[in-house]
Structure 1
Amino acid sequence: MRHEALTVPAERHWVAEYSQYQSGGWSTLSLMNNSGSPTDVRIADCVPVETTLLRQMPTTRKFLASLGLRYMWVRLARLSPNSFLWEHRDYDELDEVERRRLHVPLMTNSSATLVTGGKRVCLRPGHIWQLAPTHVHGACNLLGPDRYHLLIDCYSNDRLSELTASRWLDDADVVDLPVATDDEIQRHLDKALTLARLGYLQSAENYLLRLFYQQSLPEGRIYDLIAWLYDELGDDSAAREWRANKMARLGIDGSKGVA
């Protein structure tokens, strides 16, 4: 499966969808979806069909058939070096149907990790990793090489329950992020404000966004910090935009206010 992912035909152009959720460098191709086109990658509830790309990947096709799951969407995902998927929550726009996401790492490295709940997890090859994407999470690949995962979105059924009945997590794969103190947060804010006042607004935003992968912070605090940054700069429009970004990326209902 790794060989098939690394030798995707040249005419298949990887798609950088969900640009608002990433720094750039994260792209996907579909293997099962509602249209059969590999470049149709915006997931939705459906009864999927095989894409033309999956038909050229016999080992991956056989693996998916062997699992016996009720698939919703299946993709190849590539995360390039120095790339980030920012803190977010998935499935918010989909119907209230129980589903899970399975990650099958095909090629990775020690600097490619997933962060959720104040913990950093290294998803090692040789295992199927189950994720509940309704929990806030993010991913990064700091040093490279490219990280390739098979992403399987599937509906809950008896077969999935059977596969996950003996699930386990090795403590060696999990690192607790240090809890950020008020003094540390203020130092980070001061540094970001200095960058912004020098005209490096994008760098200031990215500096704060990357704190999610370095320290344990309350859910959504990163977005609050960026909004505060623009409050300090007197840019009310940008501050409102980042407060809206928080609500959109974390799936917060506007009628409930900001958490």
Structure 2
Amino acid sequence: MEVPIACSSHDLDKSLVISCAQVPCHVRLLAMQDELAQLMQQPWVDHVNRKDYSGGWDVLPLRCQRVHVDAHPVLQGFAIANGEDWQDLPVLARCPAIKAFLQTLRCPLKSVRLMRLKAGAEIKPHRDYGLSLEHGEARLHLSLQTSDKIHFYVNHQRVPMGAGELWYINADQEHAVQNLGDEDRINLVIDCVANDWLREQVTLGWHHGRGQSQPV
């Protein structure tokens, strides 16, 4: 496993805030990519925040609020705020490698989605307010299909996310993505509760890496 790296730091005195950090993990990448190939025939849905992107950006929900388990995929994929009761969707049962990876995360999981940014597409700078460790929430990205033509920025700093790497992203800060390549980028995106275990893992990723610090 590569040494975790980070961009923007977090001191234990909490005077600094993490923008992003690679989280230590074990990933069966090839097995997960095989499952991803089988999921291409599923009904992916376009991202609903159309003003925030250009080109193609769509989603396949794998876990959603229990109340939406039998609802339209749009609700499963995007009605993800303020929920307390979450459930895996049936499609996840057909993905044992992805499910096994999720079970290694020792924090309460909320929404889990596959998110595809198509070749030539761009996610414009925006913020998902309140979605950060400081607010008790966390968004994790596991890249399953990517290239060096993906430019992912958080707080104006590029995130060097490679395939098979798990990253914490401070979505409360401004972030944007450009896919300048000829292939789609697909990430497994996990929203979860920021418990002590996750905070420790994110901090570990920072302390074993490199980055820039920015005061609150």
TM-score, normalised relative to structure 2:
0.71
Q: 1:52: Cα distance to partner?
A: 1.7
Distance in 1 (alpha carbons) for counterparts of 2:138 and 2:156 = 21
Q: Any residues of structure 2 matched to 1:33-48 within 5 Å, and which?
A: 33-34=64-65, 35-36=68-69, 39=73, 40-42=76-78, 43-46=80-83, 47-48=85-86
Q: Gapped runs of 5+ residues in structure 1?
A: 175-259
Which of 44, 55, 77 matches 1:24?
A: 55
Q: Any residues of structure 2 matched to 1:99-138 within 5 Å, and which?
A: 99-138=137-176
Q: Gapped runs of 5+ residues in structure 2?
A: 1-31, 212-216
Flag the 1:11–1:156 CA change in 2: closer, same or farther, 3 A.
closer
Distance in 1 (alpha carbons) for counterparts of 2:169 and 2:91 = 25
Q: 1:165: Cα distance to partner?
A: 3.2
Which of 87, 92, 97 matches 1:59?
A: 97
Flag the 1:133–1:61 CA change in 2: closer, same or farther, 3 A.
same
Q: 1:56: Cα distance to partner?
A: 1.4
Equivalent residue letter for 1:111: K
Describe the SS at the equivalent of 2:98. Answer: helix
Q: Any residues of structure 2 matched to 1:225-236 within 5 Å, and which?
A: none
Number of aligned positions between the proteins: 171
Note the aligned Cα RMSD (angstroms): 2.4
Equivalent residue letter for 2:136: E
Q: 1:158: Cα distance to partner?
A: 1.9
Contact 1:5/1:148 (8 A) holds in 2: no
Q: 1:85: Cα distance to partner?
A: 0.5
Describe the SS at the equivalent of 2:104. Answer: helix
Which of 197, 202, 205 matches 1:159?
A: 197
Flag the 1:125–1:5 CA change in 2: closer, same or farther, 3 A.
same
TM-score, normalised relative to structure 1:
0.60
Contact 2:141/2:167 (8 A) holds in 1: yes
Contact 2:136/2:195 (8 A) holds in 1: no
Describe the SS at the equivalent of 1:12. Answer: coil
Q: 1:16: Cα distance to partner?
A: 2.8
Distance in 1 (alpha carbons) for counterparts of 2:43 and 2:93 = 13
Give the aligned partner of residue 224 of structure 1: none
Flag the 1:9–1:146 CA change in 2: closer, same or farther, 3 A.
closer
Equivalent residue letter for 2:49: Y
Q: Which has the higher contact order (CA 8 A, sep 6+)?
A: 2
Sequence identity (%): 28
Give the aligned partner of residue 140 of structure 1: 178
Distance in 2 (alpha carbons) for counterparts of 1:122 and 1:81 = 18
Higher strand fraction (1 or 2): 2
Describe the SS at the equivalent of 1:60. Answer: helix
Higher helix fraction (1 or 2): 1
Distance in 1 (alpha carbons) for counterparts of 2:139 and 2:130 = 14
Give the aligned partner of residue 195 of structure 1: none
For the pair 1:4 / 2:35, whether they are aligned, the reply is yes
Flag the 1:54–1:167 CA change in 2: closer, same or farther, 3 A.
same
